[in-house]
Amino acid sequence: MMIWITGCSGMLGRHICEKLSIAGMPHIATDLEIDITEPSAVSDFITGNKISWVINCSAYTAVDLAEDEKDKAFAVNADGVKNLAVAAEIKGAKLIHFSTDYVFPGLKESGYDEKDKNGPESVYGASKLAGENEVISAYDKHFIFRISWLYGPYGKNFVHTMVNLFKERDELNVVNDQYGSPTYTGELADFIVRVVKDDSDKYGVYHFSGEGMTNWYEFASEIYRLAVNYRLIERKVAINPVDSSNYPQKAKRPAFSYMLKDKLYSTFGYRPKNWKETLEEYIKSIKG
Instruction: pLDDT band for 80, please (50, 70, 90 cuts).
Output: very high
Count of C-beta atoms within a 10 Å radius of residue 211 = 14
Domain-located, residue 90: yes
Whole-angstrom Cα distance, residue 281 to residue 212?
Answer: 16
C-beta of residue 121 within 8 angstroms of C-beta of residue 105: yes
Per DSSP, the three-state class of 150 is strand
Instruction: pLDDT band for 287, please (50, 70, 90 cuts).
Output: confident
Residue 224 among the catalytic residues: no
Query: What's the average model confidence in pLDDT over 207-234?
Result: 97
CATH of the domain at 60: 3.40.50.720
Query: What's the average model confidence in pLDDT over 204-210?
Result: 98
Domain-located, residue 163: no
Enter the pTM of the model: 0.97
β-sheet bridge partners, residue 55? 5, 96
Query: What's the average model confidence in pLDDT over 198-224?
Result: 98
Q: 288 pLDDT exceeds 90? A: no
C-beta of residue 216 within 8 angstroms of C-beta of residue 64: no
**How much is the pLDDT for 42?**
98
**How much is the pLDDT for 207?**
98
Domain-located, residue 168: no
β-sheet bridge partners, residue 182? none
Query: What's the average model confidence in pLDDT over 117-135?
Result: 98
Whole-angstrom Cα distance, residue 110 to residue 129?
Answer: 21
Domain-located, residue 238: no
Domain-located, residue 38: yes
Domain-located, residue 165: no
What percentage of the chain carries pLDDT values higher than 90? 97
**Domain boundaries, position 113:** 3-157+182-213+255-273
**How much is the pLDDT for 189?**
98
The pLDDT mean for the chain works out to 97
Instruction: pLDDT band for 215, please (50, 70, 90 cuts).
Output: very high
What's 231's DSSP letter?
T
Domain-located, residue 223: no
Query: What's the average model confidence in pLDDT over 131-154?
Result: 98
Picking from 279, 269, 287, 254, the residue whose alpha carbon sits closest to that of residue 150 is 279
Question: Which residue is catalytic, options 124, 179, 206, 224?
Answer: 124
pLDDT digits (tens, 9 = 90+) for 40-73: 999 999 999 999 999 999 999 999 999 999 999 9
**How much is the pLDDT for 40?**
97
Q: 119 pLDDT exceeds 90? A: yes
Domain-located, residue 113: yes
Total domains in the chain come to 1
End-to-end CA gap in the chain:
34
**How much is the pLDDT for 145?**
99
Query: What's the average model confidence in pLDDT over 15-26?
Result: 98
What's 251's DSSP letter?
S
pLDDT digits (tens, 9 = 90+) for 272-285: 999 999 999 999 99
